[in-house]
Homo-oligomer: A and B are copies of this chain.
């Protein structure tokens, strides 16, 4: 039986709009042009496949509804030209654009600081492989917290695809699946043994890595712990303490670059530069993406009178990002891993002592929209309302 949320009590046409009253007393109002355009009948086609017969120029801006009736678990609308459209009740409720429903659909990230350490999000790869609900739970923790620790990641390179598949299709970066370890000629700072300040990977790409898939193959016996910082929480601090600096870092493009001499797994020379803000706001003005690696900041290219203010804002941001209050330190063992959102979280590591065989960790990546696709497909089977939630899109805005 359908819940009250998904059951239509009555249908009416008021001031030309289709008005649905639901069994939970919510009222939805749909404009005729919206309904006509979103007719997904076989003739009109659907935007899901992009095989679509209806075009906007076929629809008059002032189109009116001829009649509307409740029919089964949905509504049937008849148009002046005789065309009929059917809409499922649940679909209508999940696309209702009342202020209340639009607010409800927004995913709220759970911001955190070091105090999360006693209760971090944790999941099991083996359970996720056996049970889609367990997998969905992991993905939703990544969505909400920006990360999830995996307690039973494979401790070898051969099975890295199992970890990647947990999140979605692998993104082929210029690094490929990269094993970080101490090397003689260092063109990647990850291959050194010193501590690394929290940073985002590949901020020099137009689209940075979305989800980083991280596996510990062989931990260091002395140091080399992983650190994580919630960039959204850092942005919240900055906004609270220094609102003008926050504004500046939302709108000022900062160039990050990366010259890759071509000794990576793909073997091609690359020279990436991107000129993008540090903090991205969505259309509602909420922080939805963070992008910064201090080591890759290139010459500021801003009007002269902004040089000092932008540097001041960056200094204050780094003070927050590098503070111990925000930092989570995880001593991952061999066979433990992480999924984390590289467009929200910054990651780093503590220094460690070189030894033989050396510390080795593996990173791969999955685009944010591929990760969201995986989550949506699981929700379709397990929690159909959830697949209509409005996800934060990282640096895409």
Give the interface of A toward B (CB within 8 A): 29, 31, 33-34, 37-38, 45, 47-52, 55-57, 61, 95, 97-99, 102, 105, 169, 171-172, 174, 186-189, 192, 197, 204-207, 210, 251-253, 256-259, 266, 268-277, 282-283, 293-304, 307-308, 311-312, 314-315, 318-319, 322, 367-370, 372-373, 376-377, 380, 390, 393-397
Contacts and interface: CB of A to CB of B under 8 A. Distances in A.
B97 A304 contact: yes
Contact of A56 (B51, B95, B169, B294): B294
Most buried by B among A29, A52, A171, A206: A206
B31 A308 contact: yes
A299 B38 contact: yes
Contacts of A55: 197, 294, 318
A270 B373 contact: yes
Chain A interface helix/strand/loop/mixed: mixed
Copy number in the complex reads 2
A259 B40 CA distance: 14
A312 B189 contact: no
Contacts of A271: 48, 373, 376-377, 380
Nearest to A269: B377
B47 A275 contact: no
A254 B301 CA distance: 31
A357 to B, nearest CB: 24
A33 B319 contact: no
25 contacts: A33-B308, A34-B311, A45-B295, A47-B296, A49-B259, A50-B189, A51-B295, A52-B294, A95-B299, A95-B301, A105-B301, A172-B172, A206-B207, A206-B210, A206-B396, A251-B283, A252-B283, A253-B283, A270-B373, A270-B377, A271-B373, A271-B377, A272-B369, A274-B396, A276-B397
Contacts of A57: 315, 318-319, 322
A259 B50 CA distance: 9
B276 A50 contact: no
A206 B394 contact: yes
Nearest to A192: B51
Contact of A272 (B187, B252, B277, B373): B373
Given A97-B307, A304-B98, A297 B51 contact: no
Contacts of A38: 298-299
A282 B251 CA distance: 10
A273 B377 CA distance: 12
A56 B318 contact: yes
Nearest to A53: B295
A319 B61 CA distance: 14
Contacts of A95: 299, 301
B307 A49 contact: no
Contacts of A33: 307-308, 311
